[in-house]
Structure formats: structure tokens, C-alpha cells
Amino acid sequence: MKFFQLLKILLFGPKVTENEKTIREFPVDDQFEAVGQELKETIKRLYGGRSLRIRAVDAGSTNAEEIEFTALNNAYYDIDRFGLSFVASPRHCDMLFVSGPVTRNLENALKTTYEAAPSPCIVVALGDGAIDGGIWKDSYAVVGGVDKVIPVHIRIPGNPPRPIEILRGVLGALNQKNF
Amino acid sequence: MTIDTLAFGFFVYFFGLFFAGCFALLGGQWKKSVQLFVLVNVIGFITGILYLFNFAPKEIILASWSWLFDFAPTVNLLSAIFFTVISGVSALVGIYSMRYLQLYEKTYNPALTQFLTVIFVLGMQGVLLANNSLAFMFFWEVMSISSFFLVMADKTSQSVRAAFLYFIMTHLGASAILGGFLILSGGNLFFEFNDITFLSANLSPMLVVLTFLLFLFGFGSKAGLVPFHVWLPEAHPQAPSNISALMSGLMLKVAIFSFIKIVFAMTNLPDWAGLVVIALGLLSAIVGVLYAVVERDMKRAFAYSSIENMGIIFTMLGISIYLLSQSADDSIVVVSNIIVVFAIFHAINHALFKTALFLSSGIAISRFHSKSLEVMGGLAKIMPFFSFAFLIAILSAAPLPPFGTFYGEWGLIQNAIGLLHNPLLSSVAMLVIFGSIALMGLISGLAVFAMVKIFGISMLGLSRTAHIDERSEKTDFLLSAPVMMLGLGVLVLGIFAKSIIGWLNGYGDVLATSTSAESISAITSHLSSSMVFLTFVIFLALTYALYNFFGKNVSEREYKTWDCGQSIDATMQYSATAFSGPIRFFFLHLLGRDKVLKSAAVVETNHWIRKYTFSLSLRSVWKDKLYQPIAGILNFLAQRARVIQGGRIQYYLLFVLGTLIVTLIIVL
């Protein structure tokens, strides 16, 4: 009987979940937690309790930056607890993450995304490519840094920047006085 | 206010129409003719209103000409209502024609078209005032033949085909009506309509049934009842748009008027007569609304919507006949009368909004140069005033409150639900009424679907064609203004629906020509229509006030639709075919369609890269299953009959002699 086989596996089969102890004793990145806590307080102060919404725009990157800031969402970093969230439309965002040198094909898309976002919108140039074109600088296919298309408020260098550096950059952007 | 003044108004009306026709035909001055046509129709409208306010519900004989086959133009409450509506709507259509005929000066012959239009309206009004069967048939034919020529006004082969189909169907109908008259009067062609009750009481039941069926076919085919409807979606769209409006908005009402006037006067109708009318009405309503949903030709969709509304009106009339045959109790008779009142109210509304819709389709077609919804779109940006007027017409066709159309259908449903409590009705009658209510729900829902589709696809979004005419709206003000006025007319009827229906219901027994004693409390409408309108107004004002109050300190920035980074073009929009996809899927067996998907390799050597072509065509199940076989049989018989057609004159003389002998044998 399939049903009893299933019950047998469920009740007496091997355990497939992690041991509780190993999870409890997982090392915590204290530096990251500290930045996160500070960010949490800053966002609470600036946005009155709601979270900071981020829209990521890939303007022609190698996806290295994407992997890093996607890591922010995973179970280890879990930035949602600090009050940051990624949204699916520029209509909902407070902050734009732009990665990669702006290719000519995506120049218009980046511009319309910025125009569609409600102001004030903080623009973060993520990675060396976004800052000045990186290794594609002066190529015929790219426009150059993000600041050639839309105004940039903060630049996070690195190729790609580590998640903690991204968070530090966001914190720095929020602590700026003028946008 | 005397009867003489009233009669004078009617005579001015008819002579004015006559002169307008002469102007157009003899003088060739179609512009003056149209102006006179508008003026005369305004006079007719005022005369009609005067009658309704001062003389209703008296029957007034305007004149009596014994030398002219006993023709005595007679006006009563029922004909006055339709007279007023027809002249009012014709006046607005006349205003529209001024600009429309100018736009299409090359396609249609304006002078001839205008002449035929005048004759057409004259025919319709004549039918309303006819007092005996001969006058009725005369004007009926004037109406039919002038509209036949109007259908083929642009002289394309498609129009001529449609016109001949219309010609055949309308003459089958006319001969059926004539046959009905002859049976009813026992061969006398000049009988007064007042005698119908008396005449039908003396007929044998078999003949009454036959007469009833002939009338049902005759008026039903004119009104476009399924399955006699095939001509309607062919002929109405082929005519010039102002003529389509007259045909759909007014000519169908003449069929309704005649049906009420003649069939409701007959007595001794069998019990199932009402059931037949209900069945045909519901069938037309469902088939009409389904085709209106899936149809991609704008004018054809409106033509199908006409079939739907005719179906609804005939359902109402059928329920009324059916109730009268069930019981002669006062409570039933009163409800039966009020349902006729609702049918008339719905007919008036339909006359207004369907005219507005066809006029709108004319405007849209003049801009897009095509009737297909698939190339339309985006007209609201070029013609904001027109699209607002069109929106009002569409909403009233939907039908939604606070427009008059809503109260007509609502009244039927409310009264029908009220009847379900009545202990006098048998369980079969309950079942019939219950089924009608359920189907009316389905029909109304689908009607909303159809109207949303037509408006959304044609007016909103971006234009799907590069051939759109982008000239300013101001030059076409004469086109949009009548649409607006008709739409507002339906709105006004909606605001005063309760009082109008209440007033008409006071004469319910006169309208339905049944012999009820006193009209006690029937449900005119529990909804106070003016309160409904007021609620709408208050909600709109409140929303606006709140928006302004709370939005005062919010900074706004207008920006185009978020396009995900790539610019939006017309191919991304919902198309008319896709929009009606779900309905086409659900009612696949009722609608019938040919879907062809062809694929061919782009390069012979590579079979992986293929080019796909998809085509979807709707076909009429009725035409395939009902009309083609009949046409086939007729063709077969004609082939057989050719055997005796020798072509020599001697044979034909022999046939004449033979016929004479046979006739003499039968007679003697």
C-alpha cells in the first residue's frame, strides 16, 4: 500500500532537516549586523516606519552585481528585517540600484525608469561599470557611467561590491543631506 | 389648444416632408432639403409633444378622405408616442446628415440619398397614422422600398447583395402581413384597424392561429427576430451611417408598434401564442448579444445589438400575451399591461441610443476609413467631445443606471419576480417566467461585455492604423452634437423614468388595447429613478470634493504609462478578437467559426524556421443550416420548372388558356 509506505517514510524515515544545534551555533557577522541596525534606525527616522523600497535596474552589467545584491535577500543576510525591500516597479521605489555600464540599447530604458519613479528618488551606481564604464569604458557600445544618463547620488565601487559594502553605501546615501 | 391646431401641425409635417423630398429630387438642392427636413421634424416633434400633453389618450381622426380609399389619418396614444420619437430622432439625424453627406459627397449621391431618406421617414410616419389595412400596407411598402434603395446607396457589389437579401426578406414579411390582413377580414382589403378585435372574434381558431403566425413572421422579420434576422446584420451596416441609424433606431420600432397595434388587438389567441413570442424573443436576444460580442465589424456589432434589444422587447410583449392567456384576473391583467408599457419605454430608449450608436459608428468610420474594430483605437485623444458623447450612448446601451434603458429592463425583471408570488399562475407559467428572468440576466451581462469591447477597442489606447484622419474635432461638430443630444435624451428619460412610466401606466389599458377595468397598484418601479440619478451626482461631487480637499498638498507629476523601458505601440494592445475570446470559447457550438492556422517553411531546406498565418472568420450558423438548404430547394425547383419553359410564344399562350380553364373549374 502506497499510503502506508508514505506513512512509514514520514514517521520512521531518515531526518532530512538540519540539526537544531548547528543552526544555533552558526557564526554571526557582527559587522554586518551593526551596519544593518544603524540602517534600520536611519530608515525608521527618515521614512516614518515604512521600509525603503529599491528598484534594481540592470543597465548592461555582467550580472556580478546582481548576484551580490540578490544575496542581500537570502536567508543569511535577510535585509528585509532592516526595512529594505526590492520592488518590481519604479512606480513604487525610493531608490534605484543601477548596475553595469549603460549600453546604448538600455540608455532609453534607464532614462524612462528614472522618469517613471516618484521623486525624490535616490540613484545608486552599483559597481565599477556603473561608476565610469569600468573595463568597457570608451567602448562604442556603451554610453559610459550612469551619471551620463541620469543624476547619480552615491557610487559604490567594487567589481562587484560585497553585500556589506552595498549596505554601507545605502547608509551613506541616506545620511547625505541633499538629493 | 384645439384639435384643429394639432391637425394643422400634422399636415404641416407631412407637406413639409413632401416639399423637402421635392427640393432634393427636382431641385437637386440637398442642403436646403436637409435644412427643411430638420425644421419639419422639429415641428413634428412639437406636435407630438402637444398631443401627449393635451389630448392623450384620446384617439383623434385628423381628416377623412373617403375618395382616397377611406384613408383617415388617425392618431392615438401609441402612435403619438412613436410619432414623437421618430420625428425627434429624425431631426437630429438630419443635423448629422448636413455634415455627413458633405463628407461622403463622392461616395453617395447626396440629393438622391436625401430624397430617399425623406420618403423613408414619410413611410414610417404614415404607417403610424394608417387607419386601415390598405393605407398601412402602402406606407409599409414605401418604407421598405425606399430603405432598400438606401441600403445600396454606395453601389458596391456587397451593398447590392445585402440590399437584395433585405428586399427578399422584407417582401416575404410584407406578403405575410398582407395575407394576415386578408384572412382576418375575409378577403376585404379596406378594413379599419378598430375592427380587428371584432373580426378576430368571429374567426375559427385555426385561422386565428394562422393569422397570428403570419403577423409574427411579418413583423418579426422586419424587427429582425431570429431566425428571420439574416438580412439585418447584412443590410444595416451597408447603408450610409445616418440611414443605418434610421433603420436600426426607427424602422425596427415601427415593426414593434405594428405588432402591438395589431396582435394585441386580436382575441381568441391560443395559449401557446405568448410562449412562441417569448421563445423567439429570448432566442433573438441571446443570439444577438453573442454575435454582438464576437463581431469585429463595428456596424455589424451594433446591428446584432439591435437584434438583441428587439428580442428583449418581444420577450416583454410575449410575457404580456402569455399572462393574458393565463388568467383574466385583475392582478394579472394589470401586470400584463405594465409590461407592455415597459416594452414601449424600452423601445423609445432603444430608438435614441441605437441611433446615437450608429451615428457614432459613422464618425469613427469617417476617421479610420474602415468598419473593422481591429484597425480602430485612440480616437478619444483626437475627439474628446465625441468620445464622451459616445461613452454616454454606450453606457445607455449597456444598460446601466441612471440611463433610461436600465429602467425598461429592470421593470420587466421586477414585475416578473413579483409574479412569482402570484397564486393564480400555474407552475408551468412560473417556470416560463423564471426562465425568462434568468436568461435576461445572462443577456444583460453579455450586453455590457459587448459595449465595453466596442468602446474600449475603438476609442481608447493607440490607433491601430496609420490612415487615421487627425483633423480637428471642431469641423465635425455637426456630427458629434446629435450623438450628445441623443445620449442626454436617454439620460433624461432615465431621470424621469418613474414618472414617465407611471404616466404611461395610467393609460396602460389603452396602450395594450386590452379590456381591463381599472389599473390598480402595479409595480411601476420601486426604484425612484430621479433619486438614483441624484445619488450618482452626489457621489461624483463628493469624490471630486474629497479629491480636491485631500489632494491639495500633494505634489503631482504627470507621466506617461510605465512601459517597462520599451516604448508602447499599438500591437501590444488588447485586440477585439482577443477580448471576445472567452465568450467565443464558451458558446462555440452556438456561434460557429472557422479557425485556420497555416504553417510553411520560410526556406525550403530548413524546416525549423516556419512562418505561421492565422485567420479567424465568423460564419452565421443560421445562414448555413437554415437558409442555404431552403435556397438549395428553391434552386432545384427552379431547375425543374425550366422544363416547361420552351421559350416559344405558343406554349405560353397555351399555359394562359390552361390556367384560365383551371381557374374557371375551381370557381364555378
For A49-93, how does the pLDDT look when each residue is reduced to its tens digit (9 = 90+)?
A: 899 999 999 999 999 999 999 999 998 889 999 999 999 999 999
Residues from chain B contacting residue A91 (CB–CB below 8 Å): 562
**How many Å lie between the alpha carbon of B608 and the closest alpha carbon of chain A?**
29
Which residues have CB under 8 Å from B213's CB, separation 6+? Answer: none
Mean pLDDT of the residues in chain B: 88
Q: What is the pLDDT of residues B391-423, one digit of tens each?
A: 999 998 988 888 989 888 888 888 888 888 878
Q: 3-class SS at B601?
A: strand
Alpha carbons B99 and B90: distance in angstroms, whole number: 15
Q: Which pLDDT band holds residue B281 (cuts at 50, 70, 90)?
A: very high
Q: Is A112 on the interface with B (CB under 8 A)?
A: yes
- What pLDDT, on the 0 to 100 scale, is given for residue B521? 46
Report the residue of A105, A107, A112 to disrupt the B interface, i.e. the one with the largest count of B CBs within 10 Å: A112
Residue B562 and residue A119: Cβ atoms within 8 Å?
A: no
Grid coordinates representing B187 are 378577403
CA distance B500 to B525: 11
Task: Kindly give, in sequence order, each residue whose CB lies less than 8 Å from that of residue B462, ignoring residues fewer than 6 positions away.
Answer: B377, B378, B568, B569, B570, B573
Residues B90-102 have pLDDT tens digits of 999 999 999 999 9
Give pLDDT, residue B517.
38
Question: Is residue A171 scored above 60 in pLDDT?
Answer: yes
Contact B565 A91 (CB under 8 A): no
What's CA B240's distance to the chain center, in Å?
16
Q: Exposed, middle or buried, B493 (CB in 10 Å: 0-12/13-18/19+)?
A: buried
Under 8 Å between Cβ of B341 and B501: yes
* Of B233-247, B308-322, B399-413, minimum mean pLDDT range: B399-413
Is A5 touching B (CB cutoff 8 A)? no
Distance from CA of A20 to the nearest CA of B (A): 44
Q: Which residues, in sequence order, are bridge partners of residue B270?
A: none
Q: Which domains does chain A have, with CATH numbers?
A: 30-176 (3.40.50.12280)
% of chain B residues with pLDDT over 90: 44
Q: Are B250 and B355 in contact (CB under 8 A)?
A: yes
Model-level pTM?
A: 0.87
Question: What is the four-CA torsion angle of A115, A117, A119, A124, rounded to 10 degrees?
Answer: -90
State the complex-level ipTM. 0.71
Note whether A89 contacts B: Cβ–Cβ < 8 A. Answer: yes
Q: Which of A91, A113, A119 faces B565 most closely, judged by CB atoms?
A: A113
d(C-alpha B93, C-alpha B442), whole Å: 32
Complete DSSP assignment for chain A: -HHHHHHHHHHHS---SPPHHHHHTPPP-HHHHHHHHHHHHHHHHHHTTSPEEEEEEESS--SHHHHHHHHTTSTTT-GGGGTEEE-S-GGG-SEEEEES-EEHHHHHHHHHHHHHSPSS-EEEEESHHHHH-GGGTT-TTEEESGGGTS--SEEE-SSSPPHHHHHHHHHHHHH-S--
With an 8 Å Cβ cutoff, are B559 and A115 in contact?
yes
Is pLDDT at B11 greater than 70 in this prediction? yes
Chain position carrying cell 438606401:
B150
Q: How many CB pairs under 8 A join A and B?
A: 18
What residues of B are in contact with residue A119 (Cβ under 8 Å)? 557
3-state secondary structure of B339: helix
Of the candidates A91, A109, A119, the beta carbon closest to that of B565 is on: A109
CB contact under 8 A, A109 and B566: yes
